[in-house]
């Protein structure tokens, strides 16, 4: 059951990476977005392959398995996805305001605290790290919908529209991750390990492949605006 999902994850991410690269814009102004979005599922494919092969899959000590490659995947892919959004919000002038450092710092703390929660045997310790991870997550949302949203709106135009669409899609899909985590064996154990692996597979396909393909299409609409300058 679990191994089928992990193998499907490997194949879906590999194909997704190629599809994003093949269909994304090659225009000089936004090629870096295509490359970022193709790299994200490539990293995830590597993590799924490692999990399928059983590398760094550990018994926490009470029978629950912790899939370390998942967290390694997230620590690389989530900053890449956020970096794409920050570049968009700042309309490709990314040296403003230190937002990139702030959002990636919060995001990395969110993933690290999540990993600490997952490996903690004691229920209270697990809950504390879960809540700490959620606090960092809230900080990410704040930056996306507060200062970055404002910057993007000041620039206006097609890119601002694309920023808002991307930020909304990302915010909705990412919100499901802590929910699945909390329900699964790493959290309160309401759903089985297999169910949580399938659920995360669906989320990963949406957050990396679906998101990457849609962002690619949206960015093409803003191509003329970017090339004009
Ligand atoms: C964890 C632990 C519990 C609290 C929170 C979490 C958030 C995880 C998120 C993961 C997103 C992953 C993506 C991967 C694909 O590229 C770590 C589950 C808040 C938001 C988008």
Q: pLDDT tens-digit profile of 36-54?
A: 999 999 999 999 999 999 9
Place of tokens 């003329």: 224
Minimal CA–CA distance to 88: which of 157, 19, 39, 185? Answer: 157
Distance of CA 221 to the CA centre of its chain: 23
Q: Using CA atoms, how far apart are residues 133 and 109, in angstroms rounded to an integer?
A: 7
Which tokens sit at 138? 């809230």
Identify the three-state secondary structure at position 61: coil
Cα R_g (the chain), whole angstroms: 18
Model pTM greater than 0.90?
yes
pLDDT of residue 229: 66
Tell which one of 67, 178, 213 to mutate to probe ligand 1, the residue whose CB is within 8 A of the most ligand atoms. Answer: 178
Ligand 1 centroid, distance to 225 Cα (angstroms): 33
Minimal CA–CA distance to 226: which of 125, 92, 56, 121? Answer: 92
For 24-175, strand residue ranges (E) read: 57-59, 65-67
Residue 29 has pLDDT above 90, yes or no: no
> For residue range 169-218, what is the model confidence (pLDDT) as tens digits?
999 999 999 999 999 998 878 999 999 999 999 999 999 999 999 999 99
Could you give the C-alpha distances from 134 to 77, 108, 109, in angstroms and in order?
A: 18, 12, 10
Q: Using CA atoms, how far apart are residues 42 and 212, in angstroms rounded to an integer?
A: 12
- pLDDT-derived band at 227 (thresholds 50, 70, 90) equals confident
Tell which one of 135, 177, 213 to mutate to probe ligand 1, the residue whose CB is within 8 A of the most ligand atoms. Answer: 177
Instruction: Give the pocket of ligand 1 (CB within 6 Å).
Output: 40, 74, 77-78, 81, 110-111, 114, 117, 130, 133-134, 137, 174, 177-178, 181, 204, 207-208
- Average pLDDT on 211-229 reads 90
Minimal CA–CA distance to 137: which of 94, 162, 108? Answer: 108
- Tell me what the pLDDT averaged over the chain comes to: 95
> For residue range 40-95, what is the model confidence (pLDDT) as tens digits?
999 999 999 999 999 999 999 888 899 999 999 999 999 999 999 999 999 888 67
Residue 167 has pLDDT above 90, yes or no: yes
Identify the three-state secondary structure at position 191: coil
Q: Whose CA is nearest to atom 14 of ligand 1?
A: 74
Question: How many separate helices (H) and strands (E) can be counted in the chain?
Answer: 10, 2
């Amino acid at each position: 059951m679990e191994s089928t999902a992990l193998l499907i994850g490997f194949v879906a991410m590999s194909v997704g990476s190629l599809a994003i690269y093949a269909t994304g814009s090659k225009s000089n102004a936004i090629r870096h977005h295509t490359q970022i979005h193709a790299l994200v599922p490539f990293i995830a494919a590597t993590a799924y392959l490692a999990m399928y092969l059983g590398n760094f899959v550990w018994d926490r000590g009470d029978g629950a398995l912790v899939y370390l490659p998942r967290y390694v995947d997230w620590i690389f892919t989530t900053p890449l996805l956020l970096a794409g959004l920050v570049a968009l919000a700042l309309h490709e002038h990314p040296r403003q305001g230190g937002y990139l450092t702030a959002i990636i710092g919060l995001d990395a703390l969110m993933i690290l605290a999540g990993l600490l929660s997952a490996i903690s045997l004691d229920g209270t310790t697990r809950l504390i790290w879960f809540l700490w991870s959620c606090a960092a997550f809230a900080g990410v949302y704040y930056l996306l919908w507060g200062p970055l949203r404002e910057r993007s709106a000041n620039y206006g135009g097609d890119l601002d529209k694309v920023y808002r669409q991307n930020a909304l899609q990302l915010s909705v899909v990412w919100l499901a991750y802590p929910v699945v985590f909390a329900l699964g064996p790493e959290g309160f154990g309401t759903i089985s390990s297999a169910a949580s692996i399938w659920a995360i597979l669906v989320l990963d396909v949406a957050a990396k492949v679906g998101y990457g393909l849609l962002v690619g299409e949206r960015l093409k609409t803003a191509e003329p605006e970017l090339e004009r300058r």
